């Protein structure tokens, strides 16, 4: 599925950075970059797409130095392929992004960076922005540029990697990315906390946050005024079991052999509406109450101990009602110091709502966009404020 425009745009499938550069240099028109399309319909709908740059041939590991815990991969590399390359060394890219419902696979590195997709592990290892240490991009004018490097500690020049992460393909075309890797844990334990009323589940999250158990992830799965938790403990064989037992005792749960089926999954079905909701950690309970008060059967899932969750509702609701609920949840998130972005939604809902909502610094963002892509040809209109 391609958002935007009538008629099918042409698709090119470059296999090298030079081919990407030539495409942007030689071909006019609006460009949409596509990997495996696990999140392609997310965000705003581009005003125009004349050319789709398919990155799936731009794949593979460029360099993996296991001793440095650093890998450079081409942007079209899938997370599965990256994982397969580094797993034999006991390493992983500790990004476990939630992707769209029904998506085939976990997406590409380029999509991960473009959307700054979030997942459970960010509680312990940080977000994509914290893992990306170097980038090679092709600018809208076809010029190839690099930023960052292949060492984790590096403050030489502007940190354009931060700017690229979550830029939704509107600043430049990512062709290769360098990430810091993490060791795979020797031992993994799960703790499941059964369904509790909102106040109690938020209390359990708080207890885990205030503990010194250092969970790798704390995920909530909430709907209709009740929520359950799954806690991931990673560590050594000696330590993980004791920590899991302590977490279970603290939060009123029990150790479990594996992740629950909802772990890392989007809380909305295909055709439904999915939101990314952020909040200051102290604001979770009133936020959930506000979600409840919309009267729609939202499911909320995600990293409640980080301040980022996804909220979702199915396709069988009046678009106007969904839009009104988004506005209400947006207001509640703002009271908690956070924001709401509509990631995924059917066209009738999109027509009724501003998918990005307000953004601080929008005037600066427009100037950044104009400086990087003066012709406005990279995913025009897909990003906040019509950028």
Partner 1 sequence: MPLAAVAARLRAELGAGAVVDDHLELRTYECDGLTHTRVTPGLVVLADDAAAVTAAVRACADAEVPFVARGSGTGLSGGALPHAEGVLIVTSRMRAIVAVDADDERAVVEPGVINAHVTAAAAPFGLYYAPDPSSQQVCSIGGNVAEGSGGAHCLKYGFTTNHVTGLELVLADGTVERLGGRAPDATGYDLVGAVVGSEGTLGVVTEVTLRLLRRPEAVRTLLAGFSSTDEAGEATSAIIAAGIVPAAIEMMDALAIEAAEAAVACGYPEGVGAVLIVELDGPAAEVEAQFRAVTRICAEVGATATRTATDDADRAAIWRGRKSAFAAVGRISPDYIVQDGVVPRTALPGVLRAIGDLAARAGIRVANVFHAGDGNLHPLVLFDGDAPGQEEAAEALSGAILDLCIEAGGSITGEHGVGADKAAYMPRMFGDDDLDTMARLRCAFDPAGLANPGKVFPTPRLCGEVPGRRRGPHPLQAAGLGELF
Binding residues for partner 1 restricted to 102-141, rule: CB under 8 A: 116, 118, 126-127, 129-130, 137, 139
CB 82 within 8 A of CB 146: no
Beta carbon of residue 133, minimum distance to partner 1 (angstroms, whole number): 10
Task: Select from 103-111, 259-267, 314-322, 351-359 the region that touches partner 1 (CB under 8 A).
Answer: 351-359
Closer to partner 1 by CB, 34 or 369: give it.
369
Which of 237, 192, 222, 236 minimizes the C-alpha distance to 284? 222
Which residues from 150-189 bind partner 1, rule CB under 8 A? 150-163, 165-167, 171-172, 182-186
Q: Which of these ranges, 33-41, 148-156, 190-198, 255-263, lies near partner 1 under the rule CB under 8 A?
A: 148-156
By CB under 8 A, the residues from 50 to 89 that bind partner 1 are 65-70
Instruction: Give 26 or 360: the residue with its C-beta nearer to partner 1.
Output: 360
Residue 203: which H helix or E strand, with range? helix 198-210
Strands 299-303, 273-278: parallel, antiparallel or unpaired by DSSP?
unpaired
Stretch that binds partner 1, among 147-155, 221-229, 250-258, 266-274 (CB under 8 A): 147-155
CB neighbourhood size of 242 (10 A) = 13
Give me the least distance between CB of 6 and partner 1, in Å please: 29
Nearer to partner 1 by C-beta: 225 or 367? 367
Nearest approach in angstroms of CB 180 to partner 1 is 10
Helix locations, 90-182, DSSP H: 109-115, 122-125, 128-131, 160-164
Shortest distance (Å) from residue 53 CB to partner 1: 19
Is residue 252 close enough to count as binding partner 1 by CB under 8 A?
Answer: no
Nearest to partner 1 of 149, 315 (CB atom): 149
Least distance from partner 1 to the Cβ atom of residue 36, Å: 23
CB 304 within 8 A of CB 268: no
Spatial separation of the C-alpha atoms in residues 351 and 345, rounded to whole Å: 10
Provide long-range contacts, Cβ within 8 A and 24+ apart, for 278-281.
Answer: 278/307, 278/308, 278/333, 278/338, 278/339, 278/340, 279/307, 279/309, 279/333, 279/336, 279/337, 279/338, 280/307, 280/336, 280/337, 280/338, 281/209, 281/305, 281/307
Size of the site for partner 1 (CB under 8 A): 93
Q: Which is nearer to partner 1, 238 or 316 (CB)?
A: 238
Q: How far is the CB of 9 from partner 1 (least distance, A)?
A: 25
- For position 367 contacting partner 1 by CB under 8 A, the verdict is yes
- What would the 3-class secondary structure string for 225-289 be? CEEEEEEEEEECHHHHHHHHHHHHHHHCCEEECCCCCCCCCCCCCCCCEEEEEECCHHHHHHHHH
Closest contact distance (angstroms) between CB of 11 and partner 1 is: 27
Q: What are phi and psi of 215, to 5 degrees?
A: -65, 150
Contacting range for partner 1; rule: CB under 8 A; set: 47-55, 223-231, 290-298, 331-339? 331-339
Q: Restricting to residues 190-249, which ones interact with partner 1 according to CB under 8 A?
A: 206, 209-214, 235-240, 242-243
DSSP assigned state of 168 = T
């Amino acid at each position: 599925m391609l958002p935007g425009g009538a008629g099918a745009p042409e698709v090119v499938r470059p296999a090298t950075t030079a081919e990407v550069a030539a495409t942007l240099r030689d071909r006019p028109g609006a460009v949409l970059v596509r990997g495996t399309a696990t999140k392609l319909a997310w965000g705003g709908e581009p005003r125009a797409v004349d050319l789709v740059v398919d990155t799936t041939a731009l794949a593979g590991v460029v360099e993996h130095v296991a001793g440095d815990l650093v890998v450079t991969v081409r942007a079209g590399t899938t997370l599965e392929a990256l994982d397969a390359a580094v797993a034999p060394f006991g390493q992983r890219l500790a990004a476990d992004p939630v992707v769209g419902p029904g998506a085939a696979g976990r997406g590409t590195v380029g999509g991960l960076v473009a959307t700054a997709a979030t997942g459970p592990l960010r509680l312990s290892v940080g977000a994509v922005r914290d893992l990306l240490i170097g980038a090679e991009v092709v600018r809208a004018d076809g010029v190839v540029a690099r930023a960052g490097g292949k060492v984790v500690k590096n403050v030489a020049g502007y940190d354009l990697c931060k700017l690229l992460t979550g830029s939704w393909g509107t600043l430049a075309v990512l062709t290769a990315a360098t990430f810091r890797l993490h060791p795979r844990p020797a031992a993994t334990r799960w703790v499941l906390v059964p369904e509790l009323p909102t106040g109690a589940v938020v209390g359990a999250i708080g207890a885990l946050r205030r503990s010194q158990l250092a969970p790798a992830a704390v995920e909530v799965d909430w709907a209709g005024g009740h929520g359950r938790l799954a806690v991931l403990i990673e560590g050594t064989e000696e330590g993980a079991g004791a920590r899991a037992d302590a977490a279970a005792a603290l939060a009123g749960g029990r150790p479990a052999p594996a992740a629950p089926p909802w772990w890392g999954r989007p809380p909305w079905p295909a055709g439904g509406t999915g939101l990314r909701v952020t909040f200051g950690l102290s604001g979770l309970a009133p936020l959930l109450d506000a979600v409840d008060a919309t009267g729609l059967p939202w499911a909320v899932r995600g990293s409640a101990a980080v301040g980022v969750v996804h909220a979702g509702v199915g396709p069988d609701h009046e678009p106007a009602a969904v839009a009104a609920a988004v506005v209400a949840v947006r207001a509640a998130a703002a009271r908690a110091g956070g924001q709401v972005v509509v990631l995924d939604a059917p066209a009738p809902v999109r027509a009724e709502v501003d998918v990005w909502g307000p953004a601080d610094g929008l005037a600066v963002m427009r100037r950044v966009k104009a400086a990087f892509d003066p012709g406005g040809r990279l995913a025009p209109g897909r990003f906040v404020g019509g950028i």
